[in-house]
Amino acid sequence: MFQNSSLFLFLSLLLWSACETPAPAGGTLLQSPGAVNTIAFQLTERGAPSYRVLHGTETIIEDSQLGFELQGQAPLAEGFEVVTSEQSSSDETWEMPWGEQRTVRNHYNELVVELRESAPPQRGLKLYFRAYDDGVALRYEVLAQAGVDSLVITDERTDFQLTGDHTAWWIPGDWDIYEHLYNTTKVSEIDALSKRGHPNLAQSTIPLYAVNTPDTLRTESGTHLSNPEANLTDYAGMTLVVDTAKLAFRSGLVGSERRGYKVKRALPFQTPWRSIQIADRATELIASKLIVNLNEPNQLEDISWFEPKKYVGIWWEMHVDKASWDYGMTLDKDGKWVDTGVAHGRHGATTENTKRYIDFAAANNIGGVLVEGWNTGWERWIGFEDREGVFDFVTPYPDYDIEELSRYAQSKGVEIIMHHETSAAPRTYAQQLDTAYQLMNRLGIHSVKTGYVGKLIPAGEYHHGQWMVNHYRQVLETGARYQVAINAHEPIKATGLRRTFPNAISREGLRGQEFNAWAADGGNPPEHLPIVAFTRMLAGPIDFTPGVFDIGLPTKPDNQINTTLAQQLALYVVIYSPIQMACDLPENYVNQDAFQFIRDVGVDWEQSRVLNGEVGDFVTIAREERETGHWFVGGITDENAREIRLDFDFLPAGKNYAATIYKDAPDAHYRDNPRAVAIDKLRVKRGDQQVLALAPGGGFAISLLVED
């Protein structure tokens, strides 16, 4: 508990001296432990809760109000009095079972304000504010009301009044999918609705003039802000409705025409955290652990059944049109899939092909093999209205021997990764969850990639609404019961729940590598990942699926990967995920010297250092592998060539490392010479330096294996 009255007076004067109106009485200040960030809470003259945020003396958020619009009740937004106001401090260190670093410090000061309406019905609201040195957060608790069991929220009114026309990196506030390219504009120029109806997306709903979180902002003075949300539990996902004239955001919850409301909760309940990461430099955004710190500790007891791993899979061959997911079965009149002899012979997930991938993984220090298209139902996937009851998550196609393959994989020390494409029919999936996960458990398969491609069934629900948030949670909790870890595609966004449920190992939730294979707009431009590292990646692990070596995509004349090969290697370090795919066809790795990096690179880290970077331009990250002490470094650039000076100061003193540097050859260019990679071997120690020249769309990757 701390309450420094002279500091309060000083900051109050500072805060309110700039205002035209005098400060209302009853304000409370909350400072972060290192006095870096300050939250000022007050009730306005109308009794509306309002907050302001400072970073040093720079105002980050001007007076902004808080509240709810409700069905059948007046808005819960003003007419309040403060009942109690308490501050406390917390400082704990916890361990990530796998992650970007082993230990995380969770150090903050908290203010809890209980409010009650002064007039009947005297409804109560508690506000929780947390001030960290790397950001601030707030959440609501709606208190019990006499004679009322549950509340229906039609919208949340959490305002973020910005203090300038910041540069913003944003994707539209789509209710179904996050697979959009990032835009770089001033806040006043955000044009979210122009992204409606994207031809590459099987589902996309953008009803509000809003952006999705995390968005990232840079103020005129160079302060970086990002708005993730944390601990999204039994609530609708939050987008940020943009007021381009006032330069303000307001929470815009994802709704549902089927249910007619956005959130329904039994009283009392707490909302997710609304947080703002605040950093002097872009690199500090990536280093921040604010989002996981805002979640509850690990609830799963034994998680030793999952181990971080690299994987290959029957996947890219479908995206580059060399094979199909479906076998070519026919649905008979009783609704059963039968083999009527019309199979087209292009089916990828055959026993023989899977064994080829298992052998390849076993020979190359790769622990997993993903198999997509192993189960019946793919004949009625994209483009079919009625997909309920179609996919079956326990019945393999006739040419896929699931028992034999599990045995074979185990004998080679490799684990199969299950695949469940739900085709956005979550009720069908939920009905089969137990049997599907029982099967996995029996076969010793401990992770599944799920998918939700298409318009949600039932109609009127959206991927990011409360109903689906609860579905994704059910999958996570059921998975935990059967020792199954989840890598969701077309997911709900990451909000740091991996702290509580470490079996939330990874997810998509962005335009992944696959867009390079088939997007009508030519795929992800070179600036995509230098933006993703400072936006989407702040939310949590990404299953981006790097590692394309055959960058020209010979089977796809209109597409190519818009990076150099050296950048594909760098992504294993730059993008964090405890599962990392080597996504290209095994034959494309044969006799490639650069593949040694993928064999060597770690997936689980003792510590990570973000060495340099600017949003949308470039970023370099170094990570130390757990147990071995080996270090790996990855650096990527956008469409501009640039030189990066690397100081090996992050290495411990007194140790020598055998370094292999994989870099763009002098004539490399993502467009017409992407595969030109140069490989240097040298010995490196702390204090050494290297200057690396990155090609347009290029990058570099370095392995530093401990010698002595």
Please give the positions annotated as active site: 514
> Can you read off the two tokens belonging to residue 246?
């006032």
- Shortest Å distance, C-beta 452 to Ca ion: 9
The entry of Ca ion, ligand NOJ, none near residue 479 (CB within 5 to 8 angstroms by kind) is: none
Q: Is 159 in the site for ligand NOJ (CB under 6 A)?
A: no
The entry of Ca ion, ligand NOJ, none near residue 316 (CB within 5 to 8 angstroms by kind) is: none
State which residue, 277 or 524, has the beta carbon closest to Ca ion: 524
Give CA–CA dist 419/543, Å, rounded.
Answer: 14
State which residue, 29 or 369, has the beta carbon closest to ligand NOJ: 369
Secondary structure of 482-551 as H, E, C letters: CCCEEEECCCCCCCCCCCCCCCEEEECCCCCCHHHHHCCCCCCCCCHHHHHCCCHHHCCCCCCCCCCCCC
Q: How far is CA 45 from the centre of its chain?
A: 40
The entry of ligand NOJ, Ca ion, none near residue 624 (CB within 5 to 8 angstroms by kind) is: none
Instruction: Judge contact between 37 and 133, C-beta under 8 A.
Output: yes
State which residue, 55 or 489, has the beta carbon closest to Ca ion: 489
The entry of Ca ion, ligand NOJ, none near residue 317 (CB within 5 to 8 angstroms by kind) is: none
> Can you read off the two tokens belonging to residue 369?
């093999």
Site size toward ligand NOJ, by CB under 6 A: 8
Give CA–CA dist 533/708, Å, rounded.
Answer: 33
- Shortest Å distance, C-beta 573 to ligand NOJ: 22
Q: How many residues does the chain have?
A: 708
Transcribe 605-620 into DSSP letters.
EEEEEEEEEETTTEEE
Q: What is the DSSP letter of 187?
A: G
> Can you read off the two tokens belonging to residue 88?
């406390």
- Shortest Å distance, C-beta 382 to ligand NOJ: 9
Instruction: Judge contact between 534 and 169, C-beta under 8 A.
Output: yes
State which amino acid sits at residue 530: P
Beta strand pairing call for 415-421 and 447-451: parallel
Q: What is the DSSP letter of 260?
A: S
Of residues 300 through 339, those in contact with ligand NOJ by CB under 6 A are 315
Closest residue to Ca ion in the complex (CB): 489
Q: Is 514 in the site for ligand NOJ (CB under 6 A)?
A: yes
Q: Is 611 in the site for ligand NOJ (CB under 6 A)?
A: no
The entry of Ca ion, ligand NOJ, none near residue 451 (CB within 5 to 8 angstroms by kind) is: ligand NOJ
Question: Please, which residues have CB within 8 angstroms of residue 305's CB and are 6 or more apart in sequence?
Answer: 446, 483
Q: Is 451 in the site for ligand NOJ (CB under 6 A)?
A: yes
- Shortest Å distance, C-beta 402 to ligand NOJ: 18
Q: Is 133 in the site for ligand NOJ (CB under 6 A)?
A: no
Dihedral angle of Cα 180, 185, 190, 191, to the nearest 10 degrees:
-60
Closest CA to 52 of 158, 156, 60, 112: 60
The entry of Ca ion, ligand NOJ, none near residue 421 (CB within 5 to 8 angstroms by kind) is: ligand NOJ
7, 36, 104, 453: residue in contact with ligand NOJ (rule CB under 6 A): 453
The entry of Ca ion, ligand NOJ, none near residue 104 (CB within 5 to 8 angstroms by kind) is: none
Q: Is 509 in the site for ligand NOJ (CB under 6 A)?
A: no
- Shortest Å distance, C-beta 507 to Ca ion: 10
Give CA–CA dist 348/149, Å, rounded.
Answer: 52
- Shortest Å distance, C-beta 416 to ligand NOJ: 16
What x-and-dash track marks residues 215-244 binding ligand NOJ by CB under 6 A? ------------------------------
State which residue, 489 or 626, has the beta carbon closest to Ca ion: 489
- Shortest Å distance, C-beta 212 to ligand NOJ: 17
Q: Is 658 in the site for ligand NOJ (CB under 6 A)?
A: no
Dihedral angle of Cα 623, 651, 640, 559, to the nearest 10 degrees:
-30
Helix pair angle (402-411, 351-363), 10° resolution: 10
Of residues 590 through 609, those in contact with ligand NOJ by CB under 6 A are none
Closest CA to 32 of 272, 221, 296, 279: 279
State which residue, 461 or 514, has the beta carbon closest to ligand NOJ: 514
- Shortest Å distance, C-beta 552 to Ca ion: 23
> Which phi and psi angles does 269 have, rounded to 5°?
-150, 160
State which residue, 488 or 676, has the beta carbon closest to Ca ion: 488
State which residue, 108 or 315, has the beta carbon closest to Ca ion: 315
- Shortest Å distance, C-beta 490 to Ca ion: 5
Helix pair angle (402-411, 426-443), 10° resolution: 50
Q: How far is CA 678 from CA 548, 645, 674, 703, in A?
A: 17, 17, 12, 14
Instruction: Judge contact between 558 and 593, C-beta under 8 A.
Output: no
Q: Is 489 in the site for ligand NOJ (CB under 6 A)?
A: yes
Give CA–CA dist 578/572, Å, rounded.
Answer: 10
User: What number of CA atoms fall less than 13 Å from residue 348's CA on the CB side?
Assistant: 21
State which residue, 514 or 624, has the beta carbon closest to ligand NOJ: 514
Question: Please, which residues have CB within 8 angstroms of residue 341's CB and are 6 or more apart in sequence?
Answer: none
State which residue, 163 or 200, has the beta carbon closest to ligand NOJ: 200
User: What number of CA atoms fall less than 13 Å from residue 255's CA on the CB side?
Assistant: 14
- Shortest Å distance, C-beta 453 to Ca ion: 7
Q: Residue 383: how many CB atoms within 10 A of its CB?
A: 8
Q: Is 584 in the site for ligand NOJ (CB under 6 A)?
A: no
Instruction: Judge contact between 590 and 581, C-beta under 8 A.
Output: no
Q: Is 421 in the site for ligand NOJ (CB under 6 A)?
A: yes
State which residue, 38 or 203, has the beta carbon closest to ligand NOJ: 203
State which residue, 166 or 489, has the beta carbon closest to ligand NOJ: 489
The entry of ligand NOJ, Ca ion, none near residue 502 (CB within 5 to 8 angstroms by kind) is: none
Chain residues binding Ca ion by CB under 5 A are: 489
The entry of Ca ion, ligand NOJ, none near residue 604 (CB within 5 to 8 angstroms by kind) is: none
The entry of Ca ion, ligand NOJ, none near residue 357 (CB within 5 to 8 angstroms by kind) is: none
The entry of Ca ion, ligand NOJ, none near residue 617 (CB within 5 to 8 angstroms by kind) is: none
Instruction: Judge contact between 631 and 657, C-beta under 8 A.
Output: yes
- Shortest Å distance, C-beta 351 to ligand NOJ: 20
- Collapsing DSSP to helix, strand or coil, 168 comes out as strand
Q: Is 508 in the site for ligand NOJ (CB under 6 A)?
A: yes
How big is the CA angle at 708 (ends 699 and 631), to the nearest 5 degrees?
25
- Shortest Å distance, C-beta 84 to Ca ion: 47
Q: Is 372 in the site for ligand NOJ (CB under 6 A)?
A: yes
The entry of ligand NOJ, Ca ion, none near residue 472 (CB within 5 to 8 angstroms by kind) is: none
State which residue, 218 or 489, has the beta carbon closest to Ca ion: 489
- Collapsing DSSP to helix, strand or coil, 136 comes out as strand
Beta-bridge partners for 225: 217, 278
Binding site for ligand NOJ (CB under 6 A): 315, 372, 421, 451, 453, 489, 508, 514
